[in-house]
Amino acid sequence: MVEITAQVREWGRSIGVVIPKEAASKAHLNAGDRIRLLIMKNKNPLKETFGILKFKRSTEEILREVDKEAWNE
Protein backbone atom coordinates (compact mmCIF):
# COMPACT_ATOMS: atom_id res chain seq x y z
CA MET A 1 0.00 0.00 0.00
CA VAL A 2 1.24 3.48 -0.88
CA GLU A 3 -0.22 6.62 0.70
CA ILE A 4 -0.16 9.94 -1.14
CA THR A 5 -1.75 13.36 -0.80
CA ALA A 6 -3.08 14.74 -4.06
CA GLN A 7 -5.09 17.73 -5.22
CA VAL A 8 -8.43 17.15 -6.91
CA ARG A 9 -8.55 18.72 -10.40
CA GLU A 10 -11.26 19.33 -12.96
CA TRP A 11 -11.20 17.50 -16.29
CA GLY A 12 -14.14 18.58 -18.41
CA ARG A 13 -17.29 17.67 -16.48
CA SER A 14 -15.40 15.27 -14.18
CA ILE A 15 -12.84 15.57 -11.40
CA GLY A 16 -9.79 13.43 -10.76
CA VAL A 17 -6.41 13.12 -9.10
CA VAL A 18 -2.98 12.50 -10.54
CA ILE A 19 -0.91 9.75 -8.96
CA PRO A 20 2.75 10.84 -8.91
CA LYS A 21 5.05 8.62 -10.97
CA GLU A 22 7.13 7.65 -7.92
CA ALA A 23 4.03 6.45 -6.06
CA ALA A 24 2.77 4.57 -9.13
CA SER A 25 6.14 2.83 -9.43
CA LYS A 26 6.14 1.86 -5.74
CA ALA A 27 2.65 0.39 -6.11
CA HIS A 28 3.57 -1.31 -9.41
CA LEU A 29 0.75 0.51 -11.24
CA ASN A 30 0.43 0.65 -15.00
CA ALA A 31 -2.02 2.49 -17.25
CA GLY A 32 -5.27 0.54 -17.40
CA ASP A 33 -4.85 -1.14 -13.99
CA ARG A 34 -7.90 -1.10 -11.73
CA ILE A 35 -7.34 0.27 -8.24
CA ARG A 36 -9.39 0.82 -5.09
CA LEU A 37 -9.27 4.27 -3.46
CA LEU A 38 -9.97 5.32 0.11
CA ILE A 39 -10.98 8.99 -0.03
CA MET A 40 -10.53 11.18 3.04
CA LYS A 41 -10.80 14.96 2.82
CA ASN A 42 -8.21 16.86 4.85
CA LYS A 43 -10.13 19.49 6.78
CA ASN A 44 -7.26 20.56 9.00
CA PRO A 45 -4.08 18.55 8.33
CA LEU A 46 -2.29 19.82 11.45
CA LYS A 47 -5.17 18.94 13.75
CA GLU A 48 -5.57 15.55 12.07
CA THR A 49 -1.86 14.85 12.51
CA PHE A 50 -1.19 16.27 15.96
CA GLY A 51 -4.72 16.11 17.38
CA ILE A 52 -4.50 12.35 17.68
CA LEU A 53 -1.59 12.47 20.12
CA LYS A 54 -2.60 11.54 23.64
CA PHE A 55 -0.43 12.27 26.65
CA LYS A 56 -0.45 10.18 29.80
CA ARG A 57 0.16 13.28 31.91
CA SER A 58 -1.60 16.63 31.86
CA THR A 59 0.08 19.74 30.53
CA GLU A 60 0.16 21.15 34.07
CA GLU A 61 2.06 18.13 35.36
CA ILE A 62 4.63 18.40 32.58
CA LEU A 63 5.11 22.14 33.18
CA ARG A 64 5.56 21.60 36.95
CA GLU A 65 8.24 19.00 36.21
CA VAL A 66 10.03 21.33 33.80
CA ASP A 67 9.92 24.18 36.36
CA LYS A 68 11.24 21.87 39.07
CA GLU A 69 14.15 20.73 36.87
CA ALA A 70 14.95 24.33 35.87
CA TRP A 71 15.27 25.42 39.53
CA ASN A 72 17.51 22.45 40.41
CA GLU A 73 20.13 23.27 37.77
Closest CA to 2 of 36, 45, 32: 36
pLDDT at 28 over 70: yes
Q: pTM higher than 0.75, yes or no?
A: no
Best CA proximity match to 37, nearest among 49, 27, 47 = 27
**Which comes out higher in pLDDT, residue 52 or 4?**
4
pLDDT at 50: 65
Amino acid at 68: K
Domain ranges of the chain: 9-72
Residue 48's pLDDT is what? Answer: 64
Round the average pLDDT of the chain to a whole number and report it.
83
Higher pLDDT, 47 or 39: 39
pLDDT at residue 15 in the model: 94
